[in-house]
A and B are shown apart, each in its own frame.
Chain A
């Protein structure tokens, strides 16, 4: 089945720790995205990538980093510089930039 796989479903971070969220897609989409969702708020764009080896900052990139070494994969690292990381993280992909987005199942990140 084609789709977007995010892992883990739940993740806990200790203070000062970096954690990496995985996102893999087999839809052959060029563009991939990371969004953050806080309770009662809309989706805020963290990073996006249009092609392999290229990515752009979104609206709230501080404290996060990404890589795009393969078309299928777009991992997100939440660094210790992100002081308020507790949120629901959503990975998405689309055939082209800013077209219909298809989302993974999400990762809930909490701070211990």
Chain B
């Protein structure tokens, strides 16, 4: 079973700071990576996808991918209390054509 590892947190940052969320994965052949945000009691919402090494920016969010190190991260700039949620990392399992999810990192942004 391919694995996706995340620190469960909580990661606490003050409002306006940069939040850095990290994810490692075991499948060297993976080509597709996704970040989802999940508020308590709600369903996951896709916020970023990344397929190539390097950075991908979308508004306050930046996804970073390093396939050699099997590492993907999500940076949230100017963090807001409304960013407080659990962030799930998902990686495409090349062998079974499915997404494997990490357990998520809980982010708390304090005013």
Instruction: Decide if A2 is an interface residue (CB 8 Å cutoff).
Output: no
A58 to B97: give the CA distance in the assembly, Å: 11
| Structural contact, A103 and B43, CB atoms closer than 8 A | yes
Given contacts A40-B8, A42-B104, A59-B1, contact A102 B46 (CB under 8 A): yes
Instruction: Decide if A100 is an interface residue (CB 8 Å cutoff).
Output: yes
Q: Which residues of A contact B99 (CB under 8 A)?
A: 45, 98, 101
| Structural contact, B103 and A98, CB atoms closer than 8 A | no
| Structural contact, B43 and A105, CB atoms closer than 8 A | yes
| Structural contact, B49 and A43, CB atoms closer than 8 A | no
List residues of A (92-112) whose CB comes within 8 Å of B's CBs.
Answer: 97-106
Q: How far is the CB of B6 from chain A (nearest CB, A)?
A: 8
Instruction: Decide if A48 is an interface residue (CB 8 Å cutoff).
Output: yes
A35 to B45: give the CA distance in the assembly, Å: 14
A99 to B32: give the CA distance in the assembly, Å: 8
Q: How far is the CB of A107 from chain B (nearest CB, A)?
A: 10
Task: List 20 other contacts, CB 8 Å, given A48-B98, A98-B93, A98-B99.
Answer: A35-B101, A41-B103, A42-B4, A42-B102, A42-B104, A45-B99, A58-B98, A90-B43, A97-B97, A97-B98, A98-B92, A99-B32, A100-B34, A100-B46, A101-B34, A101-B44, A101-B90, A103-B43, A105-B42, A106-B43
